[in-house]
Each structure stands twice: as C-alpha cells, then as structure tokens.
Structure 1
Amino acid sequence: MAKDNCERKPSKAAGGWGALKSVARQLKNSGKPVSGAKTLLSLNQADGFDCPGCAWGDPEHGSSFEFCENGVKAVTWEATKNRVTPEFFAAHSVQELRTWSDHDLEHQGRLTNPMRYNPETDHYEAVSWEDAFAGIGAALNAIEDPNQAEFYTSGRASNEAAFLYQTFVRLFGTNNFPDCSNMCHEASGVALTQAIGIGKGTILLEDFDETDLVYCVGQNPGTNHPRMLASLREVVERGAKVVAINPLKEKGLTRFADPQNKIEMIRGTSAPTSTHYISPRLGGDMAIFRGMSKVVLEAEDKAQAEGKPAVLDHAFIAEHTHGFDAWCDLVRATSWDQILDQSGLTREDIETAAQMYIDADRVIVAWAMGITQHVHSVDTIREIASFMFLKGNVGRKGTGLCPVRGHSNVQGDRTVGINEKAPAAFIDAMEAELGVSLPRERGHNVIQAIGAMLDGTAKAFIALGGNFARAVPDSHLVAEAMGKLDLTVNIATKLNHGHLMPGKQSYVLPCLGRTEIDKNLEGTRQMVTVEDSMSMVHGSSGINLPASKSLLSEVRIIAGIAKATVGSERVDWDTLGQDHDKIREMIARVLPIFGDFNKQVREPRGFWLRNPASEREFRTPTAKANFGDADLPALTEWQSVNGKDAHFVLQTFRSHDQYNTTVYGMDDRYRGIYGEREVVFVNKRDLKAMDLKGGDIVDIIGTYEDGHRRECKGFRVVEYDTPRGCIGGYYPEMNALVPHQTVGDLSFTPTSKSVLVRLEKSNP
C-alpha cells in the first residue's frame, strides 16, 4: 500500500476479534485453511508438536488446547501450500531477489530442494544432497584455520540438532558459535550467573498463580509473547497487582480480550493486564530499580526507628546473600536528582511502585529486550536481582526472576552446548564422550563474528536457521562482507535475504519444519525436544506430510555435513542422523541433568531441568546470591543527547505482524499502523519542536562516528505516546542504524534499544 494511502486507525484491547480475524486470514493465506486448522489442534499436545513461536511456558503442556495469534502465524507460515522450487530460482536471479521485501521473499513458500549458487549465471541451481555435503566438507577442510569459520544457530533449532551441531563444530576445531541469544538475552545470562549462579530464570509458570505482584519490564507481550497476557490477566483478576514499565504505551500491557473466552467474545469485553503503567525514558530502568530500592531501605529505617516489624527479609539476606552492606551504601549515596533525570519519572511514580513491593509478600520481575539491549544492561539486571533479594523474593513459591526469552528453544540451545564460552566441565564431558581433545579457547559471539567478516578474517559461514544478515546490527555492512566469504551455507525452511548474499561457494539446504513428520529407518515417527523459559523440556512430533520429498531434518543435514567434513571415526553420524533417541542418550551422558532423557520427555508435560537458584542453592564463587556493585551510568544515551536539536535515542522493535525478522504482514494492529513498515514513532511535543506533524516524511541518520553513514530514508512520522527524546521503529529495517561497535558491557549484546540518531525532513 502506498504511504499516502495509509492511515493510523484506533486500536482496541489486545486479543479479541482482531486476533481471531488475523488467525482466519493467516489460515486463508496459507492456502490450506482446513488442514491448517487441523494442524493447530495438535499444537502443544502430547502427540503433536511444540509451538515454533515463543518460549513462554504452557500451563499443562500435552493436555491443553492453548495457542496464540503468534503461534498460529508461525504454524500457518510453515504449513503454506506455496513452494520455492528449482524452477523458481531459474526464473529469478539473486540480484533480482535482493530487491524484494522480507515479506515477499518468505511469502513465496517452502524451499523444496538443496540449491547451489552459480556465480556465472547469478542463479541458484539444484544440487544433490550428496554433492552438497561433499562440496561443503571440501570447502571447510580447505580453510587453513578452523577458527576462520563461523557457525551460527537460531533458537528455533531443537536440542537434538543443536547438540549434534556443536559436536560437529568442536570436532572440526573451533568454538565459534555466534548465536541468536547473543543478540537478545546474553546480558540476562551474564548478570544472573553473577547474581545467582545460573543464567536462567528461577520461576515456573505456576508461580504466577501465587504471586502478589508482577513487574513487567521492558517488554511487549501482546506482540512478542501473547500467551503471557493470559497469565498477567489472571494475576489482576484475582486481586494481585501488575506494574507495567515500558516507554511505549502498548495495548497488550493495558487490556486483553481472550479469544478463547466465548462469553467475552460475544459481549465484546476485555480485562486489564496491569494495574499500573509507567513510561520511563530509554535506558532509565536501572535508575527506577535503584530508586525503588532507596524507598524500601528508607521504609526499613523508619520501621526500625519506630519499633515496627522489619520490611526487609533479614534472615534471607544474612543466610543467602553477599555484599548487602556495600550495595546499600551505593543506593543511599545515589541522588534522587540522578535517579529522576535518568528514569524520566517523578519521585511519586517511583515511590508508588516501591510501596507495592513493600506491601507484597511474593513478587516476580519479568523482563525482555527492553532491558537487555543497552550498554549497561548487565548492571541493570544485577540491580533488579538486588532489589528482589531485599525481601527474599527468590526461591519461594510465587516469587522469582523471569527473563522472557524469544525463540522456542533459544534457552535449550545454550543448555546443550551452543556456547562460544562453554564451561570447562562441559568440555571435559564432551572429551570423555568422544575420546579426543577439543578446543577450549573462547570462540566468537555474533559481534565478534561480524568483526571477523568485516576485517576479512572469516572465510566461511554456516547458519542453522535464522536470518543472520538481517537480524544483526550494521546489516548493510554485513551484507557486503558476506559476499566476500569463501563459503556460505544456510539451513532453512523458507527463502530470506540471508540466502541472497552468497560467498564464492554458497548452498541453501531445505529442512523439515516443526509441524512435519520425520521418520527413522524403521518408519517410526520421531520427536525433537525444546526447553522453554521456565526450564521445562517438551517433546515435539510433526503431523504434516513434508513440503517436499527432498527435505531432510536439521539433524540429518548436520550429520551429512559433519560426516563429509570430519569423518566418522569419533561419531557414527549416520546412526545419529537417523535416530533422535541416540542423540538424547548422548546428551544425557554429557549432561546428567537430563537424567533418563528419553523416558522423561515422553511424559505428558515433559520434565523440569532443576534450577538450583530456585531452591536457594546459589552456585556462585561466594556460594551466595550476590548483590550488585555498580553505580548508575554517568550518563544514559538520553542524557547525552538531551538539549541537542533533532537528536534522539531510538529503539527498534517488532510490529504486531512479525516474529523476529519474519514479517507475516504489513499491519501493526495494536499500534494502529496498516499497510506499511517504514515509519518512526515520535512524541507529539518533539514533533512540534521540529515543526513536523504526523504523516510527514523524514530521514533518520545515525550519529555514531566511525566513517560509515547510517541512514533510513523516507520514513513516515507517526505521533505516539512515548517519552520526549525517545523514538522507535521496526527492525530489521532499522538495523542499518545500529552500530555493531556499541555493545553491552560484559555481554556484547547489540544496543538496539539505545541508538543515537537525528531526524531530518526528507528532501522530496
């Protein structure tokens, strides 16, 4: 739709008839409305498949019929009737396909055959699996140093595929595992490991049934984790409180109409998902929690002075924590002026939010990338954890720390070894399993892999799923660098822009989707497994016929490449490629926490991977939960541009009609945007100061100075309720504005929620 025909329409509560209409539209567009509906009936069922969308937990996985709009989109997108065949590639050159949008590329449908790029014709051409494996193996073995190869993983890969992948790569001789988790919750893993001894959240889904208060911070569950809205709504309905802390006013954090509630749908009603909503400046979250901690400590001082019951849980602090006194000194020394300027809130806002904490017995804090994608993200999460320690809100029912992760198995991939800095104990176990020494030096994360591509050190890139080139910061620079590699390989279900940046040799290898049947040599339907945000491990078995007879599972593709590259002396790749039970047996030998993996995962709800911190066993160097030790940032990004004309802090985020880089459609129903994506959301007072209005066309210019011009030209201005000086827009379109050099301290996470830019009115 042309920009001048697009309009901003009012949006109502999250969910409701809008969600059902979207589901119907997705089923219709898939070309398989009847079979698609039947497929949805197997979503999150004991004999069906796990939702390929987000990693939010299921209330009764295997016995409930619970799915969300995002899950429907993910399933129907995969189960489409459309096909990308060798004939399609013969009709369209790579150069032509590069001009297509992300949406149009993936809308062409499922890849059907392994393809190899022909640089002489600029077309992909069909190749046999045997020749593809042999060609990839030869190209990898031609590299002088295994550390010149980068092995990327998407969080949609199963535990079995991820474990086999890391086994192959370590036998090849490198720990280069750039992973999608590096771009989202790496800061959570680093901070939580420091604070509580494990880089995972401490809650189960049932804890939402018993909590008194939830802080939902830096996330938009209506778009990213819709099933979470049901949990938040239930918290509010039973009289507990939910405090939403988010710069943008999001529909999902205010009201939700449950599409599975017949009475509510008939009446057209909805229910709140939060009781309080506060909108801080970008980067101001650490200041908020520091301020709330000041209020709690002041309340404790007052209680002691007046001889009243203690506010703090002194027993927990004394028995289970370290560094309390030093952290208290930091909190008390922090000025209110600094807290209020960084947060953009009033003191009353912070005191009100803190009083809820004082009054509550059981508290959960849940956060996502609005917290993690800043320079000081690790310190912010440490501050959140310290705040929670004050009243012992870790390791009790109804309490805990909850990083809300994205892809369905992004947590599981890390558990089974996709880690560029794997613990020594894991490498020890792998060496014992394989009977060979493995590399131990730290490998590359995403940012380091980008650096290696840009400086010419990297020679090969293999992607197990995902759309690396579009997901990363400085996407325009990465696209250019990928074309200079000796080898690029993409294992995928659908065509995306990452496949259109071929190196000197390039392969696109189509794999089975989560919804499709995969059988072993005996003809028995196989399952794969995933781990959700609550550390629950589920089985997943496809029910649909494969989109093409030529498709192989991710496991078989990895095994084929591995056999052609490192041989079968240490690993029987043929057997593992055909039998997922054998892979799970191997995982359990290397990681005893999985126990009797094959038996447990066949239980209706799967099983829980024990989290010691959730039972107040803190495996840190102090053997206790550690309070933070950091001052607030000297300046947030907002403070650094405050007062500069037309300068802003930009955050990138998803539209409602996308999941990560997959764009299902051109609408963002909850923000009132229809038919377009090249928009920028700006506070109305900022627009007035620049003599702009909603609908004007602007250029967005990055201000990071390294000699590269970063810009997004011709974007339409949308007036939106966001703090002054803070603007927003969609990725992947705006990833070109994110410098790869600006990363989170200790985490290397891209700073996609604090990008420094300026706006200019476009020259017609």
Structure 2
Amino acid sequence: MSEEKKVPSAENPYKLLKLKSTGAEKWAAGIPAVMAAFSDLFEEGVPIRGMKALFSMNQKGGFDCSSCAWPDPDDERSPVGEYCENGAKALAEEATTKKVTADFFKKNSVYDLAMLTDFEIGRFGRLAEPMYMPKGGTHYQPISWDDAFKKIAEHLTALDSPDEAAFYTSGRTSNETSFLYQLFAKEFGTNNMPDCSNMCHETSGFALMPTLGVGKGTVKLNDFYDTDVIVIIGHNPGTNAPRMMSALEKGKLNGAKIIAINPIPEAGLMGFHNPQHLNGVLGNGISLADLFLPVKINGDMALLKAMELLLLDFEKKSPGQVFDHDFIEKKTGGYDEFIKQFENYRLEDLAEESGVPAASIYQAVQMMAFKKRIIFCWGMGLTQQPNGVDMLKEIVNLLLLKGSIGKPGAGVCPVRGHSNVQGNRTMLINEKPTQQQLDRLKEVFGFEPPRKHGYDVVRAIKAMHAEKVKVLFSMGGNFISATPDTTYTAEALRKLRLSICVSTKLNRSHLVHGQEALILPTYSRSDLDIVNGQPQLISTENSMGIVQSSQGILKPISDKLINETQIVCRMAMATLGTRSVINWQQYANSYDAVRDIIEKCIPGFEDYNRRVREKGGFYLPNAARDGNFITEKYADRAVFTLTTIPDNTLKEDEYLMATTRTHDQFNTTIYGLEDRYRGIKNERRVIFMNQKDIDNSGFAAGDKVDLFNYDDDIERIAPLFIIVPYSIPQRNTLTYFPETNVLVSINNVVGESNMPASKYVKIKIRPHDPLNIGN
C-alpha cells in the first residue's frame, strides 16, 4: 500500500507496555508530589528557566497556570509555590526549549506520527512555526503567516453560508482572545461556537440557571475555610484539582465535616499531605473524608433522594430545626409539590438503587441535619451522566431545604476543569447567545449579529459528518482526543475542506485533519508577550468568578510565534476586509483596547483595565451568592425541581463503564504513564473491575480483554485491555480516556445539555481476540 492511501490512526496504538500494579494509595500529595513536580523540569532540560517560572505562577502579578481553574487565595499566597504537581508539569512543557520545526515535519509523515501514542506525540516540544498540509499531502510543510491567513480567508469566503464554518474554543484561551474570537464569528455570520464547556460543565449551567438564576457556582474560596459540611460528589480533587485539597484541609482543621461520594475511593478524598507545610512533608498529614459513600455509577440520584427522605424524617421529629422554613417561604417556589413526592419512596429501595448501605446514608444525614452551612462540590462524575442536569438540580433541592445557598459557608461549587473555561462563557463563547447579549453587540459595534442558535460540540461533529460544516477552526485543545465516538468523529473531521488548529504543542488533532490543514503556533501562558514593544497582560476567570491578570515572563522559544489575539485579528482582517465595521488592527495592537470594549459589552467589567491590575483581581457579580434568585419561573425565588430516578438495569453480560483520567494527565494531555494514587504504572490500557465480577465472568487479574459497545446497533470495539481488580461497585468498571472514547456513542448524551455521557457507557467484556486489532 502506498503512503498516500494510508489513513492516520485516530486512536492510540493498540499495544501494551509492561503494567506494574502496586495497589491504591491512602493519601495524596506530600514528598512524592513535590518530587514529581520538579522532575519534569529536569527531564525537559530547563531546571533554572522552569523554576523561575514556577515561582511566578499563580502569584499576584504573575501568570495564571494553564491547567485547572481552582482559585488562588484572596489573601497571602504561599511563597513555596501556588501550584500543584500537574500545574508544574504543564509549566515544564511550556518552558521546554525543544522545538517542533519544519525540518521535523519533513522527516516525519502524519501517518508515522499517528503510530505513536498521545504521550509520545506530546513529548517532541513546542511548535515553532506555522505549518500547512496540502490536499493529498502526507507531510506538513512550512507556510508564512500571511499565506496562512490568506488560505483561511479563501476557504471561509468560498462557503455557501457562514454556518458552514465552526469555531471551537478550549478553556486555555484568555478573556481578550475569547471576546474577539466570538466577535469575529458573529460578524462573519455564525453562532457555531462549540467549546470545551460542551464536554465538561455545560450540564452545570443547565441545572443552575433555571433553579438559581446563575449558571456558575455560588461560593468563594473563603467559604471552604469556615463551613460545617463539605460534600464532594463525582469528583477526584487529588488529581483533577489538587490545590482544592489545601482548602479542604483548612476547612477540616476549622471543624468542617467532609463527605466523599464516588464509585471508587480516591486518595485525594481520603488523606492529604500538604507539601506547603512541614507536617505535610514530614508528618502524617490529615485525614480528609469523615465518611465515604461508594455510590454506583449513576446511583447518585437515588442517594440524594434517600438523603432528602431522611432529612424530612429528621424535620418531622424536630420541627423547624432541620429545614429552613423562613428561607423556603421567602426565597423559594415549588416546595409543597417537591415534598409530596417522598410519600412514594422507601429508604431501603433508594439505598439498594444507590449501592450505598442505608446505615451509611443515615450517617451522612446526621452530619447535615442540624447544620446550615453546607457546600456541595461536583465534577464530571455527575455532569457526564445522562441525567446529570436532574442530579444537579437535586443537589440544589437539598440545599434549598437547608437554606444553604446565598450565605457564608454554604452553596454550590462546580469544580471547573480548564483554567478559563468559565471565562470563555462569560466572554460570550456560546452557541446559544441570549437576545440581550446580541442586542448589546449590535448597539456597540453597529452590525447585525446572527440570531439563530449554532452548533455545540456534538451537533458540530454530526454537521461535519453530514458535510454541513466544511471548515473547523480550533482555538486550542485536542478535538479528536477530547470528543466521543472516535471513529465517527474522525470520519467527520476528514470530510472537512480545511481544519485549523491554534496550538502550542503537537497533538493527535494535527494528524486527523481535513482535506487541507493548518497548524498555527502560539504563545503559552508563561511566555512573555510583547506587542509593538509593550509587554501585554491577559486576563482569565477562575471557578469562583474572580477575574485576574496574567503576564508571562519566559522568552518565547521561536520568533515565528504570534499571540492568539493577533491570530484572531489578522484572520478577521484577511477574511472580512473592508466590509468589517470593527477596527481589528486596534485590538491587535493593544489588549487594553480589547478590555475597554469588553466593559462596554458585558456587565460586571466596569473599569476593567484598572481593576484587573489590582492584586488578586476582582469578583464578578453573582446574585445567587448574595441570596438573590432571579429565575425565569420566579422573579425573586429559587426553584424546587421534580426529578425521577433513572433505570440502570443491565443485561446479564453488560457492565457500566465510566471514563476517567490518570494522575499523570490533564484533560487530553498525557504527562506520563503513572497513575500513582491508583497504583498503576507504565500502562494506560487497563480496566478496573470488582473482584466478584472478575470471578463470576471467568476472568482473572491480568487477563487481556476487548471492550464492546452496541449503542445505536453499531458495534464499537476498544481492543486489548488488562483487567485490574479494584474497589468499585459490582457491574461497574473504570477506564482511561481517550483510549475508550471510541466506545462512547455520539448519541449517548446528557439530557438538555447535550454533553457526551462519558461516565455512563454500557459495555461487554470478552477475552482478547488479536483479530480485533486494526492499527
């Protein structure tokens, strides 16, 4: 077969390394985390350059970490460093001096690169110059920036409709770039703006907006320090937001009780050795969770209703001491109808459906019954369930009963993933902008923005597959490795006329591309960004609504990089030309000019340029945080919601699978091959199973198996996985993404939010057949 006819793989190669399973850890962080944080700097050969940047990362006046969105302390920040292990690894990959140049692409075809794992692909270094893949080509070749923008303009202006283009955004993009990016898309004529929120916390917004009137969390970081109960459900802070554990430690030391709800016991939920404190490094650290509830996959709804049923029982025995009736009467609607449903529930049935013993549920309710200051935190363990919106509404229901929203030490906390995913949405990166937002843009800029809703991620993939979308512009991210139904999505991407990726590093999305493709290299957060001789600062918004400045300090590794804001502006000027009513050159020259126009368009950003330069930044308005609930159903009340318990019945040979990431991973970026806290080393193709399931199915630990999904009557196969026994509920399994994204049907989505339901995949497990390996 000639190389021209070879199709680059959309998945990691089906090959095993040498698994070493050491058993799960009982605590997280400590000395191992410190050593891991620094090891990558030495591996990348930049210990001095990297350490200089680490001491500036997440500090006031420094630059914002490009990984998680957990907020920095409002008060003093640790001189040791306000970063976690994965933040340090992200920084090491930004600070590296290894370059991916035109010579690299000349020596390596796209097909050959696709035979490597995502981990191997990501180790080559920083992209150093713009590259172009011609139609029918096998190797990327260099292209000038002017010619790259000319190529984009040619494709966009040749479309029959602006809606034949889609503009994807990752959560790393700054506020300034995000605002200009959506502005360009709207002036071009489309609301096709799929973004990473469509795959992580869209569900949170769909649950919180109709019930509380705000699609964000309602707590501040200081609320964790002085509260009574913290419930962590569907989230693993030790890996996904390690700096959150410092806040949990502080709350615990101040008397808070912590309840952890998850299908498996995660080290970061159990114990914490704080590397910023001597006791955390040399001592025994602190035990975090007072109670662990091992809920079944998608058993959370039954568990929450069981808690509410018991709270109602406590209230009947101690009237007025458990429910906050004054809050319920003055601040909520729908209470009577909500309470009436519990006549139909039995604790025993709910406990069985949840997988958690009734006695354990009772313990949890005892901790909450006579407390008012309660915080619920969640991650994608809930948002990526088919009924995720309803489950989050049920959390709101429970907190409304207690009056535990809109007061200090109480509220909801969706733990966002990528560092500015929340800021992107605030900056109008949204396929469904409101009429009020569009009216304001029209008033400020003088053009008529499109009013029709655009495509989210899932709908964009389907539109590409149907050849209704012909150009995809990706502002960051790794689209093919982040999205579901890998084979289907790859087919969709290959039908594009042009795919464009703005990136800092090589990833698989550069290898699974359209008929033509562009790679546009850009600055990272830690890079010094100078425009017309002036150092520029950007801004981001963290999980708790704080907008803060970020200014890199490292000399860029190439003089052929340009920042994302200039990429947007130059694309706009090349594409729209004289028909544009916007002064794109002004915004390309100064981020201050961008912030000046943002404050005219988006509430809460008054005096933006001054306030963003204040140490620690500023909070955006949050009515629900202040106890004001302005919902669509009521002008001044939060809303109780009626929900149902899902049917999780499985066929005799079926299991439920949830995808997760390893500790050596952030989103789709693979930093290493060690999932330290779960005791997995040097392997990613593993499936965690309950020992009883292993025995009942005739398997044994270490067996090689193939995984199958049959949604939509289509056979999807993820071959060659190793069985690892683990503490997980029966008929539940856990695997890593992106290796099992291929099993997640494009139609397996969360109700209302249309997110991929990657935490709820029905699979069958069979002995490995070598014939199932095709790449």
Distance 2:279 2:734 in 1: 36
Name the counterpart of 2:344: 333
> Given the alignment of the two structures, is residue 704 of structure 1 paired with residue 711 of structure 2, yes or no?
yes
Distance 1:177 1:723 in 2: 38
Name the counterpart of 2:138: 122
Q: Deviations over 1:226-283 (max 9, x none)?
A: 000111122222222000001011100000111122243234x221121111110000
Name the counterpart of 1:721: 727
Distance 1:607 1:579 in 2: 21
> 3-state SS of the aligned residue for 1:552?
coil
Give the superposition deviation at 1:60: 3.2
CA spacing shift, 1:552–1:27, aligned 2, 3 Å: same
Name the counterpart of 1:530: 540
Name the counterpart of 1:275: 290
Q: Which segment drifts farther, 165-174 or 566-575?
A: 566-575
Name the counterpart of 2:276: 260
> 3-state SS of the aligned residue for 1:548?
coil
Give the superposition deviation at 1:61: 7.0
Distance 2:142 2:77 in 1: 43
Match of 1:80, as an amino acid?
Answer: T
Of 32, 36, 44, the residue aligned with 2:58 is 44
Distance 1:601 1:541 in 2: 12
Please tell me whether the aligned partners of residues 279 and 285 of structure 2 are also in contact (alpha carbons under 8 angstroms): no
> Given the alignment of the two structures, is residue 8 of structure 1 paired with residue 21 of structure 2, yes or no?
yes
Of 285, 294, 301, the residue aligned with 2:316 is 301
> 3-state SS of the aligned residue for 1:594?
coil
Name the counterpart of 2:773: none
Give the superposition deviation at 1:173: 0.5
Return 5+ residue gaps in structure 1 as ranges.
Answer: none
Please tell me whether the aligned partners of residues 431 and 438 of structure 1 are also in contact (alpha carbons under 8 angstroms): yes
Match of 2:750, as an amino acid?
Answer: G
Once the two structures are superposed, the pairs formed by residues 437-586 of structure 1 within 5 Å of their partners are: 437-521=448-532, 523-567=533-577, 569-586=580-597
Name the counterpart of 1:432: 443
Of 741, 753, 771, the residue aligned with 1:735 is 741
Give the superposition deviation at 1:288: 1.2
Match of 2:37, as an amino acid?
Answer: V
Distance 1:668 1:439 in 2: 46
Match of 1:333, as an amino acid?
Answer: N
Match of 2:767, as an amino acid?
Answer: K
Name the counterpart of 1:314: 325
> 3-state SS of the aligned residue for 1:705?
helix
Please tell me whether the aligned partners of residues 45 and 61 of structure 1 are also in contact (alpha carbons under 8 angstroms): no
Identity of aligned residues (%): 39
> 3-state SS of the aligned residue for 2:595?
helix
CA spacing shift, 1:3–1:472, aligned 2, 3 Å: closer
RMSD: 1.5
Please tell me whether the aligned partners of residues 180 and 410 of structure 1 are also in contact (alpha carbons under 8 angstroms): yes
Distance 2:388 2:16 in 1: 36
Once the two structures are superposed, the pairs formed by residues 328-407 of structure 1 within 5 Å of their partners are: 328-407=339-418
Name the counterpart of 1:192: 208
Of 99, 107, 115, the residue aligned with 2:115 is 99
> 3-state SS of the aligned residue for 2:597?
helix
> Given the alignment of the two structures, is residue 177 of structure 1 paired with residue 183 of structure 2, yes or no?
no
> 3-state SS of the aligned residue for 2:433?
coil
Match of 2:257, as an amino acid?
Answer: K
Distance 1:460 1:283 in 2: 37
Distance 2:136 2:767 in 1: 42
Distance 2:403 2:137 in 1: 65
Of 764, 768, 772, the residue aligned with 1:762 is 768
Distance 1:2 1:131 in 2: 40
Distance 1:682 1:118 in 2: 46
Name the counterpart of 1:652: 659
Give the superposition deviation at 1:337: 4.5
> 3-state SS of the aligned residue for 1:595?
coil
CA spacing shift, 1:556–1:340, aligned 2, 3 Å: same
Give the superposition deviation at 1:505: 2.0
Distance 2:338 2:708 in 1: 40
Name the counterpart of 2:645: 633
Please tell me whether the aligned partners of residues 387 and 646 of structure 2 are also in contact (alpha carbons under 8 angstroms): no
Please tell me whether the aligned partners of residues 489 and 508 of structure 1 are also in contact (alpha carbons under 8 angstroms): yes
Distance 1:183 1:76 in 2: 26
Name the counterpart of 1:20: 34
Match of 2:736, as an amino acid?
Answer: Y
Please tell me whether the aligned partners of residues 234 and 261 of structure 2 are also in contact (alpha carbons under 8 angstroms): yes
> 3-state SS of the aligned residue for 1:614?
coil
Distance 2:538 2:412 in 1: 28
Name the counterpart of 2:681: 674
> Given the alignment of the two structures, is residue 694 of structure 1 paired with residue 701 of structure 2, yes or no?
yes
Q: Deviations over 1:534-579 (max 9, x none)?
A: 0001100000001210000010111111111112531111120121
Give the superposition deviation at 1:303: 2.1
Name the counterpart of 2:751: 745
> 3-state SS of the aligned residue for 2:428?
coil
> 3-state SS of the aligned residue for 1:151?
strand
Please tell me whether the aligned partners of residues 396 and 614 of structure 1 are also in contact (alpha carbons under 8 angstroms): yes
Distance 2:365 2:199 in 1: 31
Match of 1:59, as an amino acid?
Answer: P
Distance 1:47 1:596 in 2: 18
Distance 1:442 1:180 in 2: 17
Q: Deviations over 1:268-317 (max 9, x none)?
A: x221121111110000111111111111111112224xxxx532111100
Please tell me whether the aligned partners of residues 59 and 82 of structure 2 are also in contact (alpha carbons under 8 angstroms): no
Match of 2:642, as an amino acid?
Answer: A
Distance 1:265 1:441 in 2: 55
Please tell me whether the aligned partners of residues 230 and 377 of structure 2 are also in contact (alpha carbons under 8 angstroms): yes
Match of 1:218, as an amino acid?
Answer: G
Please tell me whether the aligned partners of residues 62 and 604 of structure 1 are also in contact (alpha carbons under 8 angstroms): no
Give the superposition deviation at 1:334: 2.7
Distance 1:630 1:397 in 2: 27
Distance 2:229 2:20 in 1: 38
Name the counterpart of 1:287: 302
Match of 1:760, as an amino acid?
Answer: R
Name the counterpart of 2:243: 227
Match of 1:290, as an amino acid?
Answer: K
Distance 2:75 2:520 in 1: 32
Distance 2:316 2:424 in 1: 45
Give the superposition deviation at 1:741: 0.4
Match of 1:696, as an amino acid?
Answer: D
> Given the alignment of the two structures, is residue 110 of structure 1 paired with residue 121 of structure 2, yes or no?
no
With normalisation by structure 1, the TM-score equals: 0.96
Give the superposition deviation at 1:155: 0.6
Match of 2:643, as an amino acid?
Answer: D
Return 5+ residue gaps in structure 2 as ranges.
Answer: 1-13, 771-775
Distance 1:229 1:246 in 2: 16
With normalisation by structure 2, the TM-score equals: 0.95
Match of 2:693, as an amino acid?
Answer: D
Give the superposition deviation at 1:634: 4.3
Number of aligned residue pairs = 752
Give the superposition deviation at 1:330: 1.8
Distance 2:135 2:452 in 1: 36
